[in-house]
Structure 1
Amino acid sequence: MTQAPADAEARRAVEPVICYPNETLPVPDMALYRDALAQAELVETVVAAPREACAFRVPAGGFFRIRSVEAPQVGDLNLWNANDLSERFYSGKTRALHGAHLTTGERMWSSFPHLRPMATIVEDSLDWYGIDAFGGSVHDVIGTRCDPHTHHLLSGGQYHHCCHSNLTRALADATGLSAEAAAREVHDVLNVFMCTGFTRDTGQYFMKASPVRPGDHLTFFAEIDLLGALSACPGGDCSSEHSSDAARCAPLEVDILSVPQEMLKGWQPPARNGYDGSHGM
């Protein structure tokens, strides 16, 4: 290791600066959303079976709720614009705007050039967890999703129930895309109910047993027409490993809820980002 310079401690002591101060972000009308949710009616429940994924659609102005049932289980969530798959959830920018983990009042933002809210979290039954002594928290936008390519890189094995493959099959079934085409549309996820962080000594991404229990839920307001896919991760509660058949796994359920239009007076789907797209040319 390189010998530390004489002013090493002074350099380390420089105070951090938030990269993206978010005080000017559009503020969601949480009171409106809560009132609308109180009048929402269940339309459909879709099930992500253990080590499988489901697809679902939610119109703009509706809600969807991901629920834990039977046993602790984490899920990997992808979102697309239901009318244009090129607009998809952008986990990296969401992380930059809100932080490594999401909770009530925070949003899932879409990819360039759109960069607008796709969904807003209106209920989080795990918001009490906060950040634990290890630096862990829930609902992360750190991890990319377990996938068969990394699995093969690390183990040499062929495994088809990684979240990437589960989401691929669900999207292909929902859209008629080929497996190859669907796999290209699958993207980095919101790790629902997953408890994660970075180790203090090595900076490595870690997971630990999720605090989720049957009955816990995460509820979203759909800001635009959405196509979603949710994988019930093969890691179960991610207390030991993922990408294998060893962990105990449970299903996850997705409730689709409809709201009377009069409950959303004054609300409009967010416009696409206003940047002119010229890039200085």
Structure 2
Amino acid sequence: MIRDPFASRRDSTPPADAAARRAAPAVICYPTHTLPAPDMAAYRAARETLSARETIVVPPREAGCFEVPAGWFFRIRSIEGPQVGDLNLFNARDRSERFYSGKTRALHGTHISTGDRLWSGFPRLRPMATIVHDTLAWYGIDADGGAVHDVIGTRCDPYTHHLLSGGDNYHHCCHSNLTRALARHTGQPVANVEAEIHDVLNVFMCTGFTRDTGQYFMKASPVRPGDFLEFFAEIDLLGVLSACPGGDCSSTHSSDAARCHPLEVTILEPQAPPAGWRSPHMNGYDRSHGM
């Protein structure tokens, strides 16, 4: 018989030095002091010259697409009542480059605001958009550990709905909304584009993790009509935004009964791009250096 050297560790009895092990210092995985910082003064100056060029209203429980040229701005605004939105971003020239919420979270934290950037996936790994103004920046982190605009949630979807409830007929969740909107925009079948839908920026959503169980929670969004989140497009962008069927997410994640409201997207052109802004065709990591 072969003796199992780890048999004595199969129970959950804490070791004698458990307290010391728990007290090990936290180390930031990705220190960002060397990360190129956006020139927020230049963005603010450019914002003073903005002219609205197009406005898209996303109906409740639906999604819509919009395009933003590199060097322009776009604004997502609450217009009638508290409502959260799920945002996907693509390179408008090449949809294989899309928003990477996990790396954005690793670099900037679980919730993002003014000065933070939305990064694309490998092999590009470059800023797609920079947040330049957030009227909910006052919220901060509340007593429950909740904050606004998260990159920790995914998106409500029919697959998880079926897993948890056995339901098969819920199709106004954000995953389905985003898929249908992208299919309409591209003229492709839903089945051809569904795999392109990716983890989102939860605009206006107030979320966090419980201290006791570590579970993802949500609470009523503090967003008010007129509040907005504004971005600068670092590259040519295709955006897809869903007005979540959870409404303000005060009671349920996906619902046919929650009160929902539209969201507005405005495309804004500056008189000139921010001073010193680099070409949108800048490269990220060059894989010729080796994997």
TM > 0.5 between the two? yes
1:233 to 229, 241, 244: 244
Write the letter of the residue equivalent to 2:146.
G
Q: Is the 8 A contact 2:77 2:263 kept in 1?
A: yes
Write the letter of the residue equivalent to 2:59.
A
Equivalent residue for 1:124? Answer: 134
Equivalent residue for 2:5? Answer: none
1:215 to 226, 237, 245: 226
Equivalent residue for 1:82? Answer: 92
Question: After superposition, what is the alpha-carbon deviation per residue over 1:108-162, rounded to whole angstroms, capped at 9, x for unaligned?
Answer: 0001001000000000000011100101000000001111110111111121000
Equivalent residue for 1:160? Answer: 171
Whether 2:42 is the aligned partner of 1:32: answer yes
Write the letter of the residue equivalent to 2:219.
K
Q: Which has the larger radius of gyration?
A: 2
Whether 2:123 is the aligned partner of 1:100: answer no
Equivalent residue for 2:15? Answer: 5
Equivalent residue for 1:260? Answer: 271
Mapped to 2, the partners of 1:226 and 1:86 lie a distance apart of 12
Write the letter of the residue equivalent to 2:14.
A
Equivalent residue for 2:121? Answer: 111
Question: After superposition, what is the alpha-carbon deviation per residue over 1:203-241, rounded to whole angstroms, capped at 9, x for unaligned?
Answer: 000000001110100000000000001000000000000
1:250 is paired with a residue of what secondary structure?
Answer: coil
Mapped to 2, the partners of 1:247 and 1:269 lie a distance apart of 44
Write the letter of the residue equivalent to 1:151.
H
Write the letter of the residue equivalent to 1:235.
G
Write the letter of the residue equivalent to 2:143.
A
Q: Is the 8 A contact 2:61 2:244 kept in 1?
A: yes
2:97 is paired with a residue of what secondary structure?
Answer: strand
Equivalent residue for 1:174? Answer: 185
Whether 2:251 is the aligned partner of 1:243: answer no
Q: Is the 8 A contact 2:125 2:285 kept in 1?
A: no
Write the letter of the residue equivalent to 1:126.
L
Q: Which segment is superposed worse, 28-37 or 107-116?
A: 28-37
Whether 2:44 is the aligned partner of 1:55: answer no
1:93 is paired with a residue of what secondary structure?
Answer: helix
State how many pairs are aligned: 279
Mapped to 2, the partners of 1:177 and 1:150 lie a distance apart of 25
What's the CA shift for 1:181?
1.5
Whether 2:210 is the aligned partner of 1:199: answer yes
Q: Which segment is superposed worse, 72-81 or 147-156?
A: 147-156
Equivalent residue for 2:4? Answer: none
Equivalent residue for 1:42? Answer: 52
Write the letter of the residue equivalent to 1:274.
Y
Question: After superposition, what is the alpha-carbon deviation per residue over 1:236-265, rounded to whole angstroms, capped at 9, x for unaligned?
Answer: 00000022211100000001001123x534
5+ residue gaps, structure 2: 1-10
Identity, % of aligned pairs?
A: 71
Q: Which segment is superposed worse, 28-37 or 191-200?
A: 28-37
What's the CA shift for 1:274?
2.5
2:26 to 13, 16, 25: 16
Mapped to 2, the partners of 1:3 and 1:264 lie a distance apart of 59
Write the letter of the residue equivalent to 2:267.
I
Write the letter of the residue equivalent to 2:23.
A
5+ residue gaps, structure 1: none
Mapped to 2, the partners of 1:61 and 1:195 lie a distance apart of 29
Mapped to 2, the partners of 1:17 and 1:102 lie a distance apart of 20
1:79 is paired with a residue of what secondary structure?
Answer: strand
